[in-house]
Amino acid sequence: MHRVKVAVVGAGVVGLSTAVVIAEALPHCSVTVLADRFTPNTTSDGAAGILFASQFPDVPVEQQRRWFKRTFDHLLLIASSPEAGVAGVFLSSGWQIFREVPPEKKPYWSDCVLSFGTMTDAELKRFPQYKFGQAFTTIKCECPSYLPWLQKRLEKAGGIMIHEKVTDLAELGLRYDVIVNCSGLGSRELLGDEDVHPVRGQVLRVHAPWLQHFVRVADGHTYIYPGAGGVTLGGTRQAADSQAIFERCRRLEPSLGSARPLGEWVGLRPGRRNPRVERGHVRVHGRRVPVVHNYGHGGWGITLSWGTALDALDLVRQCLNERPPEARL
């Protein structure tokens, strides 16, 4: 039987998740990940990695909920397994706080996480400038550990990884039967998709092992996420300096005043009004080579990665089912 050659472009958390899902579900496919950067040099490696999401404007809420829940459930299995430590996946409890009481008091993902509820007055007293809060347990997924773990899982399923900067999908269509585009910000140049835009991210990491609970201000510009190797402080969606981030976080959590700095990360996330998870094609010598797109997750790449990967798998299956009979031999 002819082995179908599948190329996955991009080796961040979305690309590797998609490659693993395809390689494990479709053993008759030969899956190759092509990227110019692998861990620890991907955008995903700089992510705070806590499962949390805001709502995209034009994607059905039930679809977003499915993406979130499938990712949460996948990572919860890892967090409950002997692999948790090496994969860098674990439960994290804490609070999201609001300056004013929001009109929608429950986000669409509230029944996907664990123990979601409204903060008590006693809990809110720790944050006197804030009038409302949500308490819940979610998952922290640290990509400097998780991405190498995914790579090994991919290799076990027969997938391979090649260091190559892809600049032309049609050229790739000469070598592969199906192309899966998970190039993130690279899709702006690769596809001419001007809806993709760089969103600046900046985080600090400090040594503060006494902090056990995350705190996130609802606007997303200030957060404190304890992790395995330090506490991540953020963030920003515009230019800011490290001192400004640290001061905002210290106002939330005064004990950070004695934290020791470990480092910082500044990078560009693939912003888009909505993620693009859909089919397309490129023409190569008069034939149509199917392309499945899975990119544009913005700051929610880890949060939605496994869910959109499973949708991409369904789209790859559709492409394979539509191939002419002679191509399936």
Q: How far apart are CA 299 and CA 54, in angstroms?
A: 9
Could you state, in order of their start, the residue ranges of all structural domains in the chain?
4-328
Looking at residues 286-306, what average pLDDT do you find? 95
pLDDT at 267: 85
Per CATH, domain 4-328 is 3.40.50.720: yes
Q: Is 30 exposed, middle or buried (0-12, 13-18, 19+ CB in 10 A)?
A: middle
pLDDT at 275 over 70: yes
Residue 241: DSSP 8-state: -
pLDDT at 220: 81
Phi and psi, residue 314, nearest 5°: -60, -40
pLDDT at 225 over 90: yes
H or E element that contains 138? strand 132-141
Q: How far apart are CA 125 and CA 92, in angstroms?
A: 21
Contact by Cβ (8 Å): 191, 290 = no
DSSP per residue over 286-315, as a string?
TEEEEEEEEE--GGGHHHHHHHHHHHHHHH
Q: Which pLDDT band holds residue 152 (cuts at 50, 70, 90)?
A: very high
Residues 169-181 pLDDT 10s: 999 999 999 999 9
Q: Which pLDDT band holds residue 237 (cuts at 50, 70, 90)?
A: low
pLDDT at 162 over 70: yes
Q: Which pLDDT band holds residue 324 (cuts at 50, 70, 90)?
A: low
Looking at residues 130-156, what average pLDDT do you find? 97
Residues 38-92 pLDDT 10s: 999 998 998 889 999 999 999 999 999 999 999 999 999 999 999 999 999 999 9
pLDDT at 290: 97
Q: How far apart are CA 138 and CA 140, in angstroms?
A: 7
Is the pLDDT higher at 31 or at 45?
A: 31
Cβ-based neighbour number of residue 203 at 10 Å? 21
Q: SS3 of 128, please? A: coil
With 0.85 as the threshold, say if the pTM is over it: yes
Tell me what the pLDDT averaged over the chain comes to. Answer: 93
| Binding annotation for D-dopa | 223, 269, 299
| Binding annotation | 36-37, 43-44, 166, 223, 269, 298-303
Residues 107-137 pLDDT 10s: 999 999 999 999 999 999 999 999 999 999 9
Residues 244-262 pLDDT 10s: 899 999 999 999 999 999 9
Q: Which pLDDT band holds residue 328 (cuts at 50, 70, 90)?
A: very low
| Binding annotation for FAD | 36-37, 43-44, 166, 298-303
